[in-house]
A = this chain, B = another copy of it.
Amino acid sequence: MPSNDIQTQTRLAPDALGPTITIGEILVEIMANSRGNGFLEPIELMGPYPSGAPAIFIDQCARIGGAAGIIASVGNDDFGRINVGRLRADGADVSAISESEDYPTGSAFVRYREDGSRDFVFNIAKSAAAQVSLTSEAKALIARSGHLHVMGTAFAIPGAWEIIDHAIGVIKERGGSISFDPNLRKELLGQPQTRERFARLVEIADLILPSGEELFVAAGVDGEAAAIQALFARNATEIALKRGERGSSFFAADGSRIDCPAFKVVEVDPTGAGDCFGGAYVACRRLGMPANLALDYGNAAGARNVTVMGPMEGAGSRAQLDTFIATTARAIP
Contact = CB atoms under 8 A, between A and B. Distances in A.
Interface of A: 30, 38-49, 77-79, 81-82, 85, 102-104, 107, 109, 119, 121-123, 125-127, 309-310, 313
Nearest to A44: B46
A43 B310 CA distance: 11
A126 B127 contact: yes
A46 B85 CA distance: 24
Given A121-B78, A122-B104, A126-B126, A49 B42 contact: yes
A243 to B, nearest CB: 29
Contact of A40 (B30, B46, B82): B82
A269 to B, nearest CB: 12
B123 A39 contact: no
Contact of A78 (B102, B104, B119): B119
A105 to B, nearest CB: 8
Nearest to A119: B78
A49 B45 CA distance: 12
Contact of A47 (B42, B123, B127): B42
Nearest to A309: B42
A132 to B, nearest CB: 15
6 nearest CB pairs, A to B: A39-B78, A45-B45, A104-B123, A38-B78, A77-B121, A42-B49
Contacts of A102: 125-126
Nearest to A122: B104
Given A45-B46, A104-B122, A107-B107, 15 more contacts: A39-B48, A39-B82, A40-B78, A40-B81, A40-B82, A42-B46, A42-B48, A43-B46, A45-B47, A48-B109, A78-B119, A78-B121, A79-B121, A104-B121, A123-B123
Contacts of A44: 44-46
A56 B77 CA distance: 26
Nearest to A29: B42
B121 A42 contact: no
Contacts of A125: 102
Nearest to A82: B40
A78 B123 CA distance: 12
Nearest to A125: B102
A76 to B, nearest CB: 10
A123 B104 CA distance: 6
Contacts of A85: 40
